[in-house]
Amino acid sequence: MRLRNIKNKQEILDQSSYLITNPEIYRGRWHELFQNDHPIFIEIGMGKGQFIIENAKRHPEINYIGIERYDTVLARALPKIDGSYPNLYIVRFNATFIDQIFDREIDRIYLNFSDPWPKKRHVSRRLMCTLFLKKYDAIFKNSKEIHMKTDNRELFEFALTSFSQYGYQLEEVHLDLYQSDIKENIATEYEEKFVKEHKPIYHCIVRKSEEILHKKL
């Protein structure tokens, strides 16, 4: 989806105390930045930020990092941070190189409405393909946990197969999240749009044991 440019985009980015543009320097040291040892949850492809910001508001006991590569998207997300949240940072970065900014310090990954990359020649760009799962092995700490939501049935089926083949256990699988009994669900901007259009939201939670992880490394 193409977003219109924002005239004061650079000003928004420069003035935000939440934006990290050089995340490589914090690799292995994110707890120093947060100044605590709380778990770190990341959202890869945070879009306009509604999901990650609301999580930070509700759960001060968790550290959150939203990752987005496009300045225009970031300029729409950053103004939504309407308070002081010491447990939140936003990173401008291409997730293809995610193992360059984290080193065994992440407890949970959120993949919300990721680009489906439907063409076969683009499979390696999907955030739940084997290439990315290997990168995630290098950034997870003790808990290897991925939460995924999408409106794309084909991508969801691909993800479930990919997770299973890589050794993840499928702990929760919902073919229509809004017909499930899930305790807490924070919606993204895309999610709200798709629900209004009466589209099912596919959701899963997968985990990987320590034993399986070490066999893969």
**Alpha-helix residue ranges (DSSP H) falling in the chain:** 9-15, 30-34, 50-58, 71-77, 130-139, 153-165, 189-196, 210-216
What is residue 142's three-state secondary structure?
coil
pLDDT tens, N- to C-terminus, the chain (217 residues)? 455 677 789 999 999 999 999 999 999 999 999 999 999 999 999 999 999 999 999 999 999 999 999 999 999 999 999 889 999 999 999 999 999 999 999 999 999 999 999 999 999 999 999 999 999 999 999 879 999 999 999 999 999 999 999 999 999 999 999 999 888 999 999 999 999 999 999 999 999 976 544 444 4
Q: Which amino acids are annotated catalytic?
A: 115
Single pTM value for the model: 0.93
Measured CA distances, 105 to 40, 85, 205 (Å) = 7, 20, 19
Instruction: For the chain, give every domain's residue range.
Output: 9-216
Closest by Cα among 145, 69, 57, 65 to 109: 145
Do 176 and 201 meet the contact criterion of CB atoms below 8 Å apart?
A: yes
Alpha helices in 59-209 (DSSP H): 71-77, 130-139, 153-165, 189-196
User: What count of other Cβ atoms lies within 10 Å of the Cβ of residue 42?
Assistant: 27
Nearest to 203 by CA among 166, 160, 174, 162: 174
> What CATH code is assigned to 9-216?
3.40.50.150
